[in-house]
Amino acid sequence: MIQHSAVLWRRVWAIALVQGSVTLMWITYRLYLGDLLKSWGFSPEFVVGLLTFEMVLGVVMEPLFGALSDRQQRTLGTRLPLISLGVILAAGFFLLIPLVFFLPIANVARFLLPALAIAWALAMTLFRSPTMVLIGQCAPVNQLPLAMGILSLVGGLFAAFRKPMGQWLLSLGSLPAFLLGSVVLLGASLFLSRVLPPTNENAEPSPATVKAFPWIAMVNIALFAIGTTWGTRVLMLVLTKQLEGINNGFMGLQLLLALMALPMGWLIRKIGHPVASLTTALGLLVLTLFFLLNDFWLPAIAFSWLLGSSILNNGLIPLLLQILQGNQTGVGIGLYFGCVGLAGDIFTRYWSSKPVQIQEGLGLAMLVMATLLCARYWQRTDS
């Protein structure tokens, strides 16, 4: 039997720190972008349009750069060159965003700001998916949910403390906050480069032995990303309303979700069936939404949400890696992240303003669709 020591924890922590730095940069960017652009005379509609354009760009570029990282892995035995390039460009462009205001020519600076914002968003798509794919090199398949527990823990802590963190970042001012994001990203990526294996380790087959492009799997991944994003967004809206009378109630639930990450990773590892785990998680989220809509007992709602969300967070990437089976993993994970970003933006701009009944119907339909998409791979992973 494979023991816990089979997980390469230093690599896992390095990937988690890179992903955490990405979250920190996006929080900072969203906090300051509106004010920075408005100070140069851009309208609020322009800000919204810019963010939407960046999300659309991500849907196209994340799979594209994921494909490029797959090619590098096959030919060079590593994805690090693309990751390093993306990190350097992202850190540089990120710091340049507030520095534009120190340029002596105002007219040039005004048009440079949105161009730098787009360049930074593009640079971020260079390395996020290739970095996440590296989690597959950190543990055997049956240990991946346990490794993902660290990433879920870090992401959960950012989610739980997002509001106080945002207030602290705003208190720093734009230049120190953007500088902090760039430095943290560079430090995390340097740590990652130190703990990655030598070039010849974990080398993949030559291009001649690569399987046919998994078109059906990619379509399913895109639909799954949309379904889980819209379904969980609706669930969060309804759950937030239920907890609005409790001081810091939702923040407490998010903190508990983060602390559950490692124990749930251990539990999923024991189950040993990623499709069963993900189907169970989505089923629990469907039940949670039903409970919320029928004013069920709040502790039961909270427990169902915690359990379902924790299993989903820990088991999602291992499931995608198993579905793709080493074939175009960078493309698949890039497509997933790109679709999640665009689906979230569309929900915020369109669905969140719809009547409650329409939102509830959408949420249930999307969660059910995601459950069915997940379950269709049940038989395949058993064979």
Which pTM value belongs to this model? 0.88
Q: Spell out the alpha helix ranges (H) of 77-173.
A: 80-99, 106-133, 144-160, 162-172
3-state secondary structure of 138: coil
Roughly what angle, to the nearest 10 degrees, separates helices 298-324 and 215-243? 160
d(CA 314, CA 372) in angstroms, rounded, equals 19
Q: Smallest Cα–Cα separation from 301: which of 242, 381, 365?
A: 242
Roughly what angle, to the nearest 10 degrees, separates helices 215-243 and 356-375? 140
Q: How confident is the model at residue 203 (pLDDT cuts 50, 70, 90)?
A: very low
Residue 13, C-beta contacts closer than 8 angstroms, at least 6 positions apart: 150
Q: How many CA atoms lie within 13 A of 299 on its CB side?
A: 0
pLDDT digits (tens, 9 = 90+) for 292-340: 877 777 788 888 888 889 888 888 888 888 888 777 899 999 999 999 9
pLDDT value at position 353? 78
Question: Residues 159-167: what's their mean pLDDT?
Answer: 92
pLDDT digits (tens, 9 = 90+) for 13-26: 999 999 999 999 99
Report CA 342 to chain centroid distance, whole Å.
12
pLDDT value at position 3? 45
d(CA 217, CA 329) in angstroms, rounded, equals 11
CB-CB neighbours of 193 under 10 Å: 14
pLDDT-wise least confident of 202-206, 256-260, 263-267: 202-206
Which helix (H) or strand (E) segment holds residue 254: the answer is helix 249-259
d(CA 74, CA 224) in angstroms, rounded, equals 27
d(CA 275, CA 271) in angstroms, rounded, equals 10
